[in-house]
Structure 1
Amino acid sequence: MSRVRLLLADDHRMFRQGLRELIERKTAFEVVGEAATGREVLAQVKTLAPDIVLLDIQMPELDGVAVARQLAQTHPEIKTVMLTMYRQDQHLFEAIKAGARAYLLKDADAEELIGVIERVYHGEAAIDPGLTSRMFDEFRRLSTEIDPSEQLTEREREILQLLAEGCDNRTIASRLHLSEKTVGNRLSEIFQKLGVTNRTQAALVALQRGLIAPSIP
């Protein structure tokens, strides 16, 4: 099995070095490059073909949100993980809308970082627990302002509810007594109805529109 290819993007060289050391302890991962600016990221992905880009939210020239948005348009196969130093980062929702698959605080421990990378590589999404309460506060506010524009079946709402709670396909299938294939097919239909492309966006839109109830783990 080929190793997961990672590109590290942060304007602080020492942070990149520390991040590289943590990541390369896992033999399944390979750091194929580093970038100090947003423009360097966009240039390097063309030749390095990473599977995942770890993006600092604040970088010179182009910030992480702008880079994630461009990558979603030009290289949708590349997954992005946003990194931030701040628990009250105002860019959280913009990053999710831009297509980021995970949003992680820089003080996360090595085990948490590795877990997030593995989840993102396998198509899951992740948000740092330190930012969860703020995210759901915003969901509650938005759900009172935006009316649902899509009609979902009861089963689709159940799947969305579990998805928003962080369940993977296997867990959803077990709880709802469905096959994993059925869950995958239903999720594809849900994504189409909501006009989104991934799990994080689906949960965000569903909560914004009041299609499911906010639920803090």
Structure 2
Amino acid sequence: MAVNVMLADDHSLVREGLKSLLELEGDIKVIAEAVDGADCLSKLETVSPDVLLLDINMPVMNGLDVLKKLKDNRSNVKVLVLTVHNEIEYLMKAVDIGIDGYVLKDSESSELKKAIFTIAEGETYIQPSLIPQLNSKRIEKDKDGAKIDNLTRRELEVLKLLAVGKYNKEIAEELDISERTVKNHVSNIFKKIDVTDRTQAAVFAIRNNLIEIF
């Protein structure tokens, strides 16, 4: 029995190429296509693919937001992210949300089909070339988690405000504390998360999803 697949990508040529490639041997059938994230969610209300091939960069709603919506709504559809993004941060975010698979668009067709069949059978598939980076990033994240746990509630508040670009005076006013107290908190934060300046502290906060970047 063929695996039913839905394609979500804003480039029509990509969708056409994928459809032709996947249906070539008859073991995969493309039953629906979506041109953006919102269109994808809308069509999933009326179709039930075994696997959703999801691009990250799409208008209206990006792939990671679509994935989060599906997981929040307890959708049963298996999601395979097919993307040009080889930056490990995207993969980490997808894994944290609950991805079923992640493959780069420059992979071989045999690898893409293997990922689809693996996911359809209920297993997870991450492109093998990305796994060493993923494991390294997980170790780094575990270390960051320990550093975050070591921050006091107030230090965490100060770090978040610092990370969005607020100066000590602005932080003091928002938290109703003195600038001297803020300065002491910043110094303690730097020591606890092992950074030397505000930029590094902001990067730490962004990397660990302590603040949202729009």
TM-score range for the pair, normalised by the shorter chain length: 0.5 to 0.7
How far apart are residue 73 of structure 1 and its match? 2.6
Seq. identity, %:
32
Runs of 4+ in 1 over 4 A off after TM superposition: none
Distance 2:88 2:135 in 1: 14
Contact 1:12–1:36 (Cα < 8 Å) also in 2: yes
**Aligned pair 1:111/2:110, yes or no?**
yes
Which amino acid is the alignment partner of residue 51 of structure 1? D
Aligned CA RMSD, in angstroms, stands at 1.5
How far apart are residue 145 of structure 1 and its match? 3.8
Which amino acid is the alignment partner of residue 20 of structure 1? K
How far apart are residue 119 of structure 1 and its match? 0.3
CA offsets per residue over residues 123-151 of structure 1, 9 Å max, x none?
Answer: 1111112322221221121233446xxxx
- SS of residue matched to 1:39: helix
Question: Which residue is equivalent to 2:97?
Answer: 98
Contact 1:82–1:104 (Cα < 8 Å) also in 2: yes
How far apart are residue 89 of structure 1 and its match? 4.8
Superposition TM-score, scaled by structure 1 size: 0.63
Which amino acid is the alignment partner of residue 33 of structure 2? E
After superposition, residues 74-93 of structure 1 pair within 5 angstroms as: 74-93=73-92
Distance 1:124 1:66 in 2: 22
Distance 1:45 1:76 in 2: 9
Gaps of 5+ in 1: 148-217
Question: Which residue is equivalent to 1:44?
Answer: 43
How far apart are residue 75 of structure 1 and its match? 4.8
After superposition, residues 134-145 of structure 1 pair within 5 angstroms as: 134-145=133-144
Higher RCO (CA 8 Å, separation ≥ 6 residues): 1
Distance 2:137 2:6 in 1: 31
- Greater CA deviation, 125-134 or 27-36? 125-134
Contact 2:37–2:61 (Cα < 8 Å) also in 1: yes
Which amino acid is the alignment partner of residue 19 of structure 2? R
Contact 1:72–1:99 (Cα < 8 Å) also in 2: yes
Question: Which residue is equivalent to 2:170?
Answer: none
Superposition TM-score, scaled by structure 2 size: 0.64
Contact 1:72–1:78 (Cα < 8 Å) also in 2: no
- SS of residue matched to 1:48: coil
How far apart are residue 18 of structure 1 and its match? 0.8
Which amino acid is the alignment partner of residue 9 of structure 1? A
- SS of residue matched to 1:21: helix
Question: Which residue is equivalent to 2:19?
Answer: 20
Contact 1:72–1:98 (Cα < 8 Å) also in 2: yes
CA offsets per residue over residues 117-176 of structure 1, 9 Å max, x none?
Answer: 0000001111112322221221121233446xxxxxxxxxxxxxxxxxxxxxxxxxxxxx
Distance 2:133 2:105 in 1: 17
- SS of residue matched to 1:25: coil
Which amino acid is the alignment partner of residue 46 of structure 2? T
Contact 2:88–2:133 (Cα < 8 Å) also in 1: no
Would the alpha carbon gap of residues 107 and 135 (structure 1) be closer, same or farther in structure 2, given more than 3 Å must change? same
Which amino acid is the alignment partner of residue 132 of structure 1? I
Question: Which residue is equivalent to 2:56?
Answer: 57
After superposition, residues 169-184 of structure 1 pair within 5 angstroms as: none
- SS of residue matched to 2:86: coil
Distance 1:52 1:136 in 2: 25
Contact 2:8–2:35 (Cα < 8 Å) also in 1: yes
Contact 1:88–1:134 (Cα < 8 Å) also in 2: no
Which amino acid is the alignment partner of residue 29 of structure 2? E
